[in-house]
Amino acid sequence: MDVSNVPADEALRRLIAGNERFVSGQVSFSGLRKESLLDLAAGQRPFATIPGCSDSRVPPELIFAAGLGDLFVIRVAGNVFSAEIAASLQYAGHHLGTELLWCWATRDAEQ
């Protein structure tokens, strides 16, 4: 699917259509059942917190072979630490109980 130069109205249509498929149980992720989604709707219990750079090429759930709800991912452009990021880290550790904080970075293929 070509995703370059998609007009905003087409992008919105794609998001809505994808969400409708997701809600109806027609998800494209293997092994994802409607029961799992209902469990996730009740709350989250991630086993790790991962702060990372905002980057569409590397979803942490894919590179760590994790499922929905397994990771608490905090994404920010440039991995810039701020009060908001600190609050998210505190939330993950204190409220969600994640004991592992895994920091990772991506590298451009040309580097």
**What confidence score (pLDDT) does residue 111 get?**
46
Enter the pTM of the model. 0.70
Q: Quick: pLDDT tens for 24-68.
A: 877 666 666 778 878 888 999 899 998 988 888 878 887 888 888
Cα angle value 78/87/46 (rounded, 5°): 90
Say if residues 57 and 107 touch (Cβ distance below 8 Å).
no
Across-strand partners of 72? Answer: 49
Residue 109 has pLDDT above 60, yes or no: no
Cα angle value 76/50/20 (rounded, 5°): 75
Of 68, 75, 74, 73, residue with least CA distance to 27: 68
Distance CA 22, CA 109 (A): 32
Domain positions in the chain are 1-43, 44-111
Say if residues 72 and 98 touch (Cβ distance below 8 Å).
yes
Structure-token pair, residue 32: 């994802």
Among 3.30.2020.10, 1.10.260.40, 3.40.1050.10, 3.40.50.1220, name the CATH number for the domain at 44-111: 3.40.1050.10
Q: Quick: pLDDT tens for 78-95.
A: 778 899 999 999 999 999
